[in-house]
Amino acid sequence: MNKLNHVAFIMDGNGRWGKKRKKGRNFGHLNGVKTVKKIVRSSIQLNIPVVTFYVFSTENWKRPKSEINFLFSLIINYFKNELKNVIANGIKIHIIGKINTLPTKIKKTLKEAIKLTKRNKKIIVNLAINYGSKDEIISASNKLKKRINVKSLENNLYTKNIPNPDILIRTGGHKRLSNFMLWQLAYAEIFFLDKLWPDFNNQDFKKIIKKFKKEKRNFGSI
C-alpha cells in the first residue's frame, strides 16, 4: 500500500460556482475557503503530513483588480480570525511563491502566520501565493553558480525539505497543470474532477486516497 506524504490541490471553479448561483465570483471564493478548512481538518485526521493549495498564481494578476483585492482580503481576514485555531491544531503555515513582492498588508499577515506556526508539527499547509512554477525553476537555476543537477536545483526550490506531492487533485473540469509545481509533480498521481472546488468534499477526497493506495507506482522501473 502506497505511503501518502503530500497532496496538492488546484482549486478551480470558485468563480463559476458563484456565478451559477447568480451571486458573483467572489461568493464562490468565499465558499472555497470553507472547502479548504474542511480538507485541512480531514488531512489531519488522515495523518497526511503535507498539503498544498494553489491560491494565487503569477498569472492571476491579469484578473480584475476588485477580484484580486477581494482574494487578498479573504486571506488577511482568515488569519485574523483563525490564527489561534491554526496554532492550536498544530498547523504549520508555509508559503511558496514570491511573497516579498506582494502588497504590504498581505505580506505582513503571511509572515506573521509563518512565524507563529513555525514550531507546529501536526501538518504543513503550503499556500502557493504569487506562485508560478516556471519562475520558480528559473529562480532556482539562477542561484546556482556551479553545474546544475537534480539535488542542487531541488535545494533551491520553494519546496526544499518538503516531499514532492504523491497526489495532485484538480477540480473544475480542466485537465491542465496551469504552471503549478511542474518539477515536483513529475511522479504524482493526477486526478481531474469535473466538480467545482466549493462542492469538493471529504468523501471525494477519501475516494481518491483509496484509489491512490491501490495504484502500482513504478517510478520508471517495472
In a domain, 219, yes or no: no
Structural domain total, the chain: 1
Q: Which of 14, 31, 47, 60 is catalytic?
A: 60
Model confidence pLDDT, tens digit, residues 145-204: 777 899 999 999 999 999 999 999 999 999 999 999 999 999 999 999 999 999 999 999
In a domain, 221, yes or no: no
pTM for the model stands at 0.95
**Which residues, including other chains, have CB under 8 Å from residue 139's CB and lie 6 or more apart?**
156
In a domain, 142, yes or no: yes
Confidence grade of residue 108 (pLDDT, cut at 50, 70, 90): very high
Stretch (H or E) spanning 66: helix 65-88
In a domain, 46, yes or no: yes
Model confidence pLDDT, tens digit, residues 6-20: 999 999 999 999 999
pLDDT at 221: 65
Whether 166 sits among the annotated catalytic residues: the reply is no
CATH of residue 39: 3.40.1180.10
In a domain, 39, yes or no: yes
In a domain, 222, yes or no: no
Sheet holding 167-170, edge to edge: 91-96, 123-131, 50-57, 6-10, 167-170, 189-192
Whether 135 sits among the annotated catalytic residues: the reply is no
pLDDT at 103: 96
In a domain, 157, yes or no: yes
Q: Which of 12, 14, 126, 164 is catalytic?
A: 12
Cell of 4: 501518502
In a domain, 166, yes or no: yes
The answer to whether residues 173 and 11 touch, using CB atoms and an 8 Å cutoff, is no
Domain around 74: 6-214
Would you call 10 helix, strand, or coil by DSSP?
strand
pLDDT at 146: 76
Confidence grade of residue 219 (pLDDT, cut at 50, 70, 90): low
pLDDT at 216: 76
